[in-house]
Structure 1
């Protein structure tokens, strides 16, 4: 792993670019998939296929066997990180632009600060972080109220609520990992969660699929599962090893840019003045709320007191990198 203070290597920048594109293009593939697949079918197909792809890696490393011992908490993680968000996003994008969806999901750090406040984290009360929280939600309001972007109806309001609930669930998931699954190899957790969610959603997906999918939707669903889920996790592990656990998540601030750009270019989604104004407000607010304006943070002590989502994410990523190193050692 690259030391924390060392310059990012060329390989590191390439992996940053890959992850920014891979998880930024997710919303485009979801939008294309739900054109002829039901939301439940998209959620089931994405998770089941991705889980099958990762299964050999999890079995060969022994990670799946270790994950079985923690199945109740892995089910909880799968529900919060995958089952809820994947279905909610798929349903929301039946009416919402893909770029706007990607931007609203980027509000995860804002919800993380709120969760930290409820858990008694006094560091979340700093003026910069609270200012970032306010700025981010102002940006969301500016974007959503932007004339010409979406028509505020009952359906679109529900979709916005689904996306914001997804952001909240994404903010909760790291706490489950950090406090209940910190000793479980990450690929074991991810594979078991994906397979479980995919199997549980399969009957609902079949029951709600009332039309023959188009080739475009099928290709989008397959790419969503292979590229944006299975391979994305493998690339993320490589990024962690290359740049370290603190800097690895920084690509998430580029994802909304990719989502909005692809939506505009490929799907002809509108770029309104409100979106242009609110977009940087959301990203800046998320940055200051999550980091307090600092790039580097000290390593958290997960055994004492509350921690923020940024800190738990760093701990999770560090655990992931350790798992990968341990797996490599055990194979030889």
Structure 2
């Protein structure tokens, strides 16, 4: 019996949440073995090439106006190169569940903040409340441990890497918005993925310890499985599902994946990697997700 359109959409939403909830575990496993610059650089370079080839096979142009090169490079560096470098290094020292919550909660808040600064959105009291809640969640996550002298420095720096990477992604997203008036979204995604991945890969080969040896591909089955999972369902498949749902449901409803996928990441991190959460950690995460909900909630 064929599923109705609404049922298919719900199934796609569940798949999206599961895939993006499990990518954090794959990233954690991958960067434990492979230098983060190589791991992320190869993922996005290959992903960009695949998307460009797909567009070409459909008879679509993959050229863009030369005057947009500078802005495209800026978007690629912020959203792909810098974001992946600091976030993946951060994930070496922070749990996959915590990283998922930080990124999922901070993304809508960061997008909001940068959009207001860029003049793309108006400042409201609800937005201020969301930002305050998000900051409160961060303080609850790390403040008590720091005051008691129990905060692990490596974990704190790892979390900072995830936060900075997330904010770079948000800044790049806001910078990319004017490009949408000129470039189709698929072409912009393919171009920035390829540019950002290639830049990250070149910098990794030049400066990252162990990058040259990692290019031999001797990663082991687990790391290769993680990389392929991130490339195929994690990047290409889930992105298609996301845009389909945005088209049919709208951005706000689709954006509620940000509340489901971190829960999946936290549960998997606990079950498979033995990551532990204290009550204050859970409370801090809940505050941050509430802040994200305030941003994503439809305007009355």
**Equivalents in 2 of 1:190, 1:116: separation in Å?**
20
- 8 Å CA contact 1:146, 1:275 repeated in 2: no
More helix by share: 2
Please give the secondary structure, in 1, of the residue aligned with 2:280. helix
Quick check: 1:19 aligned with 2:4? Answer: no
- 8 Å CA contact 2:81, 2:196 repeated in 1: yes
Gaps of 5+ in 2: none
Quick check: 1:45 aligned with 2:42? Answer: yes
**Equivalents in 2 of 1:193, 1:59: separation in Å?**
16
- 8 Å CA contact 1:145, 1:274 repeated in 2: no
**Equivalents in 1 of 2:252, 2:137: separation in Å?**
26
- 8 Å CA contact 1:63, 1:187 repeated in 2: no
How well do the aligned residues superpose, as a CA RMSD in angstroms?
2.7
Question: CA deviation digits over 1:36-68, x for unaligned, max 9?
Answer: 100111111211222233232221345552436
Question: CA deviation digits over 1:117-159, x for unaligned, max 9?
Answer: 4346784231x332222112111221234659x9634433322
Q: Could you say which residue in structure 1 is the equivalent of 2:242? A: 236
Length-normalised TM-score, structure 1: 0.77
**Equivalents in 1 of 2:150, 2:31: separation in Å?**
20
Quick check: 1:263 aligned with 2:262? Answer: no
Length-normalised TM-score, structure 2: 0.84
**Equivalents in 1 of 2:80, 2:60: separation in Å?**
19
**Equivalents in 2 of 1:122, 1:26: separation in Å?**
31
2:224 aligned to which of 208, 215, 218: 218
**Equivalents in 2 of 1:161, 1:194: separation in Å?**
24
1:295 aligned to which of 290, 293, 298: 298
> Once the 2 structures are TM-superposed, how far is the Cα of residue 216 of structure 1 from its aligned partner?
0.6
- 8 Å CA contact 1:63, 1:188 repeated in 2: no
1:101 aligned to which of 99, 102, 108: 99
Q: Could you say which residue in structure 1 is the equivalent of 2:77? A: 79
Gaps of 5+ in 1: 1-6, 298-332
Q: Could you say which residue in structure 2 is the equivalent of 1:142? A: 140
**Equivalents in 2 of 1:63, 1:81: separation in Å?**
24
**Equivalents in 1 of 2:274, 2:184: separation in Å?**
41
- 8 Å CA contact 1:28, 1:98 repeated in 2: yes
